[in-house]
Structure 1
Amino acid sequence: MDIIQNFMKIFGAAVLLPIIIFIFEIILGTKPAKALRSAIYIGVGLAGLVTVLNPFFLGLMSKPITDMVVQRGIQLPYLDTGWALLAAVAYSTTIGAIIIPMGIIINVIMIGIKFTDTLILDLWNFWHWAFIGSMVYYTTGSYIYGIIAAIAIELFLLWIGDVTAPQFQKFFKLPGITIPHASAQGGIIVAIIFRWIFEKIGLTKINVNSETIRRKFGIFGDSVVIGFFVAVLIGVIAWFPEIEQLTTWSRILALGMGTGSFIYLYPKATTALLEGFAALSEKVRSLLAKHGSKRKINFGMDGALCVGNPDNITVALLTMITTVPLIFFLPGNRFLMMADLGVTPFFLAITAVAVFNGNILCAYIVNVINVAITLLFSSAMSPAFANLVTNIGTKLPDTGAAMIGADIRPLHGIFYYIGLQPVVLVASVVVILALMYARSKNPAVFWKLVGYKAESKDIDTNK
């Protein structure tokens, strides 16, 4: 277990995943040259997305957004130091030590009994399950409850990954990919609930997306141009006290250009990744066909693949601006979101944008609600997180007079509180397994929850 974690830490996803894919393809009988090309393209795509573009953009946004918050001068007791600390803590516990092999075994079993059609390749993000399991363990004192909580969220993500797969594949143009990623699926429950509400009141009929904006506003409807101007607006708000200085305008315009570059380059990296997965998908399909199966196996990946979608960028940037006043004026909030302020709105927006098929207005409203829920969960759970890091002896960043806090997105918060009630926890696992079975028998019914209308080809491949 420690060997696996050390390999992940040393090599990183952009190197380790291509190695795993290469070995996997060779075992499946793919020609070495084809397997090598596939692995390299996957590595190039992942490096472009996870190692280059995402850190560049999120780092670009962190300074102006932090300045927007700090200038208010309001003190909140729990300080956000970023998701990386949560991941480090998650993998430092006894549950974190077994989460990767345990997660793989459960995934394979669920595929074998046809409860899921998702094979998760995104091993790094198993930390989300380990984090919730560890929080439950250190709060309740029960190792068993912690393990069951980690299993429960994995099973839920496998289920919701399958449910959202066709809509995500169609909207984000990611054939053969599912997103069983806790951050990207963090707001899915709220999105499904409000999709029903908005349809009832007719809000979904107000079709405002990047395509309609482009048609009506010409150059100002271009996603790159929109990203540029929204980023410039954020820069103006953040650095308004020094607006008369030439250096300030240099920073503002650099922020706009950097955002435009991110939006433009993101699809290029995604294309490379998908080209790499094409060989693996083809091989898996051919092997299943030889055994007389029309079943389609999708590959579970990080939500980072969806962040650069133009509609997602627009919704997330608008949400970031709205989050700043929410931090200070939301009743009950005690959490100062800082390090993840340039991250959380982008990942939470993914499900909202997909479920509303790019409707920016509906997705924005839902995303703001999910951010508000995140702030409240973070406020409620930060004391438990502080207790966890104290117990395991994790080295903490200097937070001054503030206490260490944790950015807890809706799905994480829900499963944490489920894990504190043994009866509810066991019942939730039973219910999720029942939902997985029901989806395997009639997937089209569940696809409707996220706005996808089944086509004949979809039904055929899931028989």
Structure 2
Amino acid sequence: MEVIQSFINFMQNLGAACMMPIFVFIIGLVVRVPIKQLLKASVTVGCGFIGTFMVMDLLAEYIGPISTGLVEKFNLSLDVIDVGWPVTGSFAWAVPIAPLIFVGVFALNIILIVAGFTRTLDVDIWNYWGFMLAGAMVYYSTNNVIFGLLASLITAAVTFRLADYAAPVTQHIYPGISFPHTCSIFWMPYAKFMDKLYDRIPGFNKLDADPEHLKEKIGFFGDPMFIGLIVGAVLSVLAGQGPSEILASALNIAAVLLLLPKMVSLLMEGLSTIAQYTQTWAQNMKFLKGKELYIGIDGGILMGRPSVIVVGVIMIPIMLVLAAVVPGNRVLPIADLAVLTSWFCWCPVAAKDNIFRGIVSAIIQGIVILLIATAMTNIHDIMAVQSGYVYAEGITHTSALVMGQELLPDLLYKIFSFFGG
């Protein structure tokens, strides 16, 4: 157990950008990718992740001051602070049963592939924290190791299955890839349902807001880069920033919308090599009976879609408005505002990149996220205490928007809570 815990600590210190190339390299060896191709693919994946994180850091750098300005402008005074998914993820990795969950989920994934329950081979080890979050909430609420482990395994099994279900929607963009990402995948059926609903609404079903179509119709003014420029400027003005800040925010958010798809494209260049060889390997393995496998990675990769970035950025001020007006909400969105592109990714993707449909779906999702995140405040505070997290002065309660994303872990926490205490 100590060896496993040391390995987990090692991975946490590496971070996703360094860890993913290592696992991609190991899988490449298993599926017999030629060593030169494998080295190039692994390094390319690492560079793609680093580039993606750099662009997201750039977005956070400018969204942070804008968010603060908007909070002051709206005079929001909510008592639960959104500390963001990295903090919540650290709580999950710190749960005492983390080593058991890690080994259990990894073994379960292999068993379910062989049994034909899933086609997703989850190489996104960093995001095992989503499975650990389910285990942590149940473990701390019941003080029962078995319940905590069971919650994690149920979450993993459903996540793998949902990743299979969602994969056909994105195969034309990311062939051989699926997204077993608990932070987003549970909302995919909802997004798909909403898109079918829009098809039945007269007039609404005629609205076409695909970035590519907009670009064809109105040229540069429909380009995601220009949309980013305008949205960045408008957000900055609303936040009460000065002329220099407005210009900097507008240009940098435009840069994010231009560069992020390119960084994700670089990442996918490396992964596509592994995915191709994995398919060939799987078809030749008798115990897999010719099944095609998906390489499972972080759903945040969907941020490479221009529609996803546009919807995520537009939702920033909308989430603050919702936080102020939704009855029963106590969460003040702050840290997770910079990653709304990830939280709402399936809304535009399931709507075939229709920005208008994506925003409507995201608004409804945003309301639910706020209410669930509020309901999860108590267990979030408990995890914070158990992890040794020290609140900043003046903060008494914390949660995160990501807590509203984790639908199944939240549900399992509520169910298992009846059996312990």
TM-score past 0.5 threshold: yes
Q: Which residue of 2 aligns with 1:81?
A: 83
SS at the partner of 1:299?
Answer: strand
Offset at residue 265 of structure 1 (A): 1.6
For the structure 1 residues 191 and 424, does the alpha-carbon distance in structure 2 shift closer, same or farther, using more than 3 Å as the test?
farther
Aligned equivalent of 1:157: 159
Match of 2:280 in 1: 286
1:333–1:379 CA contact under 8 A, matched in 2: yes
| 1:51-66 superposed matches below 5 A | 52-66=54-68
2:18 is matched with which residue: 15, 20, 24?
15
Question: Secondary structure at the residue paired with 1:200?
Answer: coil
Distance in 1 (alpha carbons) for counterparts of 2:410 and 2:168:
29
Is residue 201 from structure 1 mapped to residue 201 from structure 2 by the alignment? yes
Indicate if the aligned counterparts of 1:204 and 1:359 stay in contact, CA closer than 8 A: no
The change in CA–CA distance for 1:151 and 1:258 in structure 2 (over 3 A counts) is same
Q: 1:169 to 1:249 in 2, by over 3 A?
A: farther
How has the CA–CA distance of structure 1 residues 35 and 383 changed in structure 2, closer, same or farther, with 3 Å as cutoff?
same
Identify which range, 404-413 or 143-152, moves more after superposition.
404-413
Give, in whole Å, the separation in 2 of the partners of 1:377 and 1:289: 42
Match of 2:185 in 1: 185
Is the 2:95–2:387 Cα contact (8 Å) retained in structure 1? Answer: no
Q: 1:252 aligns with which of 239, 242, 246?
A: 246
8 Å contact kept, 1:373–1:409: no
**Structure 2 vs 1, CA of residues 414 and 38 (structure 1 numbering), >3 Å: closer, same or farther?**
closer
Note the C-alpha offset of 1:393: 4.4
Residues 75 and 267 of structure 1, relative CA distance in 2, 3 Å threshold: closer
Distance across 2 between alignment mates of 1:186 and 1:338: 23
* Structure 2: distance between partners of 1:423 and 1:14: 36
1:49-448 to structure 2, matched below 5 A, reads 49-50=52-53, 52-170=54-172, 173-202=173-202, 203-239=204-240, 248-291=242-285, 294-343=290-339, 345-390=340-385, 392-422=386-416
Post-superposition offset of 1:372: 0.9
Q: Please tell me whether the aligned partners of residues 96 and 131 of structure 1 are also in contact (alpha carbons under 8 angstroms).
A: no
Shift of 1:225: 0.6
Q: Separation in 1 of the partners of 2:413 and 2:396?
A: 28
Deviates most, 201-210 or 98-107: 201-210
Superposition misfits of 4+ residues, deviation over 6 angstroms: none
Change (3 A) 1:401 1:260: closer
- Structure 2 CA distance for aligned equivalents of residues 82 and 411 of structure 1: 12
1:348, 1:370 within 8 Å by CA — same for their partners in 2?
no
Indicate if the aligned counterparts of 1:316 and 1:346 stay in contact, CA closer than 8 A.
yes
What CA deviation, in whole Å up to 9, does each residue of 1:214-260 have, x standing for no partner? 23322211111111111111011012xx5xxxxx2111111111112
List alignment gaps of at least 5 residues for structure 2. none
Give, in angstroms, the shift of residue 276 of structure 1. Answer: 1.5
In the aligned structure 1, how far is the partner of 2:139 from the partner of 2:411? 12
Q: Distance in 2 between matches of 1:286 and 1:199?
A: 38
User: Structure 2 length normalisation: TM-score?
Assistant: 0.92
Query: Matched residues in 2 for 1:394 and 1:423: separation?
Result: 23
Deviation at 1:152, TM superposition (A): 1.7
Structure 2 residue identity aligned to 1:112 = V
Which residue is equivalent to 2:48?
A: 45
Matched letter for residue 226 of structure 2: V
Show structure 1 runs of 5+ residues with no match: 243-247, 426-463
SS class of match (1:295): coil
Partners of 1:181 and 1:98 in 2: how far apart?
20
SS of corresponding position for 1:369:
helix
How big is the shift at 1:99?
2.3
**Retained in 2: the 8 A contact 1:79–1:337?**
yes
Identity over aligned residues, as a percent? 25
Aligned length: 413
* Structure 1 letter corresponding to 2:267: L
Measure, in 1, the Cα distance between the counterparts of 2:222 and 2:36.
43
Displacement of 1:409 after TM fit? 4.4
Counterpart Cα distance in 2 of 1:317 and 1:277: 27
Say if 2:100 and 2:149, in contact at 8 Å, map to a contact too.
no
Deviation at 1:295, TM superposition (A): 2.6
CA contact (8 A) 2:184 2:405 kept: no
Pair 1:88–1:215, CA change in 2 (3 A): same
Provide the TM-score with structure 1 as the length reference. Answer: 0.84
- What secondary structure, in the 3-state scheme, does the structure 2 residue paired with 1:227 have? helix
Give, in angstroms, the shift of residue 368 of structure 1: 0.9
In 1: Cα distance, 2:120 partner to 2:334 partner: 34
Residues 49 and 304 in structure 1, CA contact (< 8 A), matched pair in contact too? no
Q: Contact (CA 8 Å) 1:370, 1:410: kept in 2 or not?
A: no
- Separation in structure 1 between the aligned mates of residue 33 and residue 322 of structure 2, nearest angstrom: 52
Deviations 1:288-331 (A, max 9, x none): 34347543211111122111321112211221121111111111
Deviation at 1:189, TM superposition (A): 3.8
Q: Output the amino acid matched with 1:47.
A: I
Measure the CA separation in 2 of the matches of 1:148 and 1:264.
Answer: 43
- Cα separation, partners in 2 of 1:411 and 1:403, compared to 1, 3 Å: closer
- Report the Cα offset of residue 5 of structure 1: 1.4
Task: Summarize the Cα distance change of 1:325–1:28 in structure 2 as closer, same or farther, 3 Å threshold.
Answer: closer
Counterpart-to-counterpart distance in 2, 1:159 and 1:87 = 22
Partner AA of 1:118 in structure 2: T
Contact kept, 8 Å, 1:78 with 1:405, in 2: the verdict is: yes
Return the alpha-carbon distance in structure 2 between the equivalents of residues 225 and 169 of structure 1: 28
Q: CA RMSD in A?
A: 2.2
**Cα distance in structure 1, aligned partners of 2:211 and 2:327:** 33
